[in-house]
Amino acid sequence: MSDYLPEPESARPWLSDKGFHETFYPLSWGKEYSYTLFSPSINRFILVDSLDPWMMHETGKVLSSKVSTMVYILDKETPIMTNDDCLYFTTLHKKLEKGFGSPNIPAHRQTASLSKIPPNMITRIGWSVDFIKPDRKAALIRLHEYAQFVLRCVYAIHLAVNHRLFFPEKEYFDTFFHEQYPKHLTLTYDSTTAPNGMINHIKTILYDSQSTEEALSLIHESWRKYSKHDPSGIRQMFYGILGISQPDDLEKLGKPGMLNIENNHQTMWVV
């Protein structure tokens, strides 16, 4: 019989579901709309979500081409806001936000930070006086709507690629076998022909575009260019999560797993 005795659970805290990591996931105590995107340069929250802090963080990175962004995870005591009223809320601890740009500070950091905001540091003060004029009000509303569109696109492309991709060979090999595979071995990020993969490509479109209409047009063209011979279903799932139909010409390429006369050379992996 072995003399080995397992250590008490307290010495191996990862065996417990409880821990500090829970505080980054407010749904664990039933609080919704706790992942928020705040813009110091506008001095308002421009987006809220309940599901995934990392998708909100990626969205903040994309939107940093438009405004300074900070991702705040709300505490239990912070007020509840939704995408219907988040533009009426702001923060009280301006000292911590100076490095990210504020209404009085021209600094603009081209990345999104991730932070937990203390209790009682969020307040509802109404519509910003800087955006009362009709043209400025319309611009802020467009930004808010674009932020919602970007978040949905970020969810859609990350979920579609990771759910439908049979073998993420480029990312996998670069992470776990860096410089350990033959230089002549051709690896791709996904099953499309996008040089850096569709996740990076779509997010770059969102970063550069100035409107939802512009971004959608470029996204449609990208799927036409890079997914014509891809039977994996990434494209179909992307549009499904986004909540819109594919353009007719993309729909005619076929359902996931199907090969038509124009894309019958695709080789599938067996892993």
Angle between helices 134-164 and 53-63 (to 10 degrees): 130
pLDDT at 205: 98
Q: How confident is the model at residue 11 (pLDDT cuts 50, 70, 90)?
A: confident
Q: Indicate if the pLDDT at residue 239 is higher than 60.
A: yes
pLDDT average, residue stretch 16-44: 88
Q: Indicate if the pLDDT at residue 262 is higher than 80.
A: no
Interval 176-228: pLDDT, tens: 887 777 777 667 788 888 999 999 999 999 999 999 999 999 999 999 999 98
pLDDT at 261: 43
Interval 115-136: pLDDT, tens: 888 778 899 999 999 999 999 9
Going by C-alpha positions, the residue among 155, 143, 139 that lies closest to residue 64 is 143
pLDDT at 269: 39
DSSP classification of residue 113: E
Pairwise CA distance, residues 164 & 237, whole Å: 8
Domain map of the chain by residue range? 21-128, 142-251
Pairwise CA distance, residues 45 & 91, whole Å: 9
24-28, 46-50, 129-133, 201-205: which has the minimum mean pLDDT?
A: 24-28
Interval 71-117: pLDDT, tens: 999 988 888 899 999 999 999 876 666 554 444 444 455 678 888 88
Interval 137-170: pLDDT, tens: 999 999 999 999 999 999 999 999 999 887 657 7
Q: Indicate if the pLDDT at residue 2 is higher than 60.
A: no
Angle between helices 197-208 and 53-63 (to 10 degrees): 50
CA dist 23 → 32, 76, 116, 144 (Å):
13, 9, 9, 27
